[in-house]
Amino acid sequence: MKRILITGAAGRLGRVLRKGLAQPDRILRLLDVADLGDAAPNEELRIMDATRIEALHREMDGVDVVLHLAAYPEEAGWERHFPLNYELTYAALEAARRAGVKRFVFASSVQAVGFHPLNETIDHKARPRPSGFYGTSKVAGEALASVYADKHGLSVACVRVASFEERPTDVRMLSTWLSHEDGIHLFDRCIEAPRHHYFVVYGISANTQSRMDNSHAEWLGYSPKDNAETYRDEVLRHGDKIGEVAARTQGGGACEIRFDGHIEQALRAS
């Protein structure tokens, strides 16, 4: 039996992964401050504040893989991200180290590289260009996870989740969409992949228009099936209207919040 601890299991990603990752040879230890409903077979529920590192350490007993999802998951004032995206990420990594966990999967975000132009291809080597304070917290989380890989031998996967939605709802998502099925498949691969050191992978579906290159991680065996192009007509006819900054950047709306710079200049910079 493989025991997988999921932080933030009551959230949007967590609810989908809870169902999608369930298997007879896995125990899912689901952790959140919010209600998790009733436990299904092979589930262990933990309602708690994961920023409490000693308590979190105890919950990592017997855990093989941590899927760290809990976060403040959108752009906000600078101070909003400290307790969750910095302190909680540290607590999760440190508790995993102390408990001897072997593998850590970090839900990062495309917002870590959000100011790269939407029409230019980025790969895992793209320089950090966070879309704002939220993206900055994901850059920091990836860096901290890298320390735990280098210094403590934790196998780390950072998944830069793009737009995790049932279907694309605006023109940017024709490029950035990650379907629920492909998201489950990607996190499943990160759990089951051969032992590795540290890698970054983009969480996107097989969208014709995507400009995120995962070719460095072919060994992972992630082969997405869905393509946002299927919804192109629907998106063009009924999709949400978005502004110019949102439509031209990988990070979309997060780049637009409080934007008073020069978009042409920002997009020309590399």
Instruction: Give the shortest CB-248-to-ligand NAD separation in angstroms.
Output: 19
Residue 51 sits at φ, ψ, to 5 deg, of -75, -15
Stretch binding ligand NAD (CB under 6 A), from 5-13, 112-120, 232-240, 247-255: 5-13
Q: Which stretch binds ligand NAD (CB under 6 A): 49-57, 146-154, 168-176, 243-251?
A: 49-57
Question: Where does this chain touch ligand NAD (CB under 6 A) — which range of 20-28, 115-123, 156-164, 208-216?
Answer: 156-164
Alpha carbons 93 and 144: distance in angstroms, whole number: 8
Q: Does 49 bind ligand NAD (CB under 6 A)?
A: yes
Is 70 a binding residue for ligand NAD by CB under 6 A? The answer is: yes
Contacting residues for 56 by C-beta, under 8 A, at least 6 apart: 48, 50, 91, 92, 95
Given 32, 59, 170, 256, the residue binding ligand NAD (CB under 6 A): 32
Q: Fill in the amino acid letter for 97.
A: R
Q: Please count the residues of this chain forming the interface with ligand NAD, following the rule CB under 6 A.
A: 24
Active site residue 134: yes
Work out how close the CB of 32 gets to ligand NAD at its nearest, in angstroms, rounded to a whole number: 4
Output the CA–CA distances (angstroms, integers) from residue 97 to 60, 65, 175, in the order listed: 10, 11, 36
Site membership for ligand NAD, residue 109 (CB under 6 A)? yes
Q: How far apart are CA 137 and CA 74, in angstroms?
A: 10
Helix or strand holding residue 114 (H, E): none
Instruction: Mark the segment that binds ligand NAD (CB under 6 A) among 9-17, 21-29, 121-129, 238-246.
Output: 9-17
Tell which one of 4, 14, 18, 245 touches ligand NAD (CB under 6 A).
14
Strands of the chain, DSSP E: 2-7, 26-32, 43-47, 65-68, 103-109, 155-161, 163-164, 177-178, 198-203
Phi, psi of 132, deg, nearest 5: 170, -155
Instruction: Indicate which residue of 72, 86, 90, 134 is catalytic.
Output: 134
3-state percent breakdown (helix, strand, coil) of the chain, nearest 5: 40, 20, 40
For residue 176, which phi and psi values (nearest 5 degrees)? -105, 5
What mask of x and - would describe binding to ligand NAD in positions 160 to 199, judged by CB under 6 A?
-x-xx-----------------------------------
Point out the residues that are catalytic. Answer: 134
Q: Residues in the site for ligand NAD, rule: CB under 6 A?
A: 7-8, 10-14, 32-34, 49-51, 69-71, 73, 84, 88, 107, 109, 161, 163-164
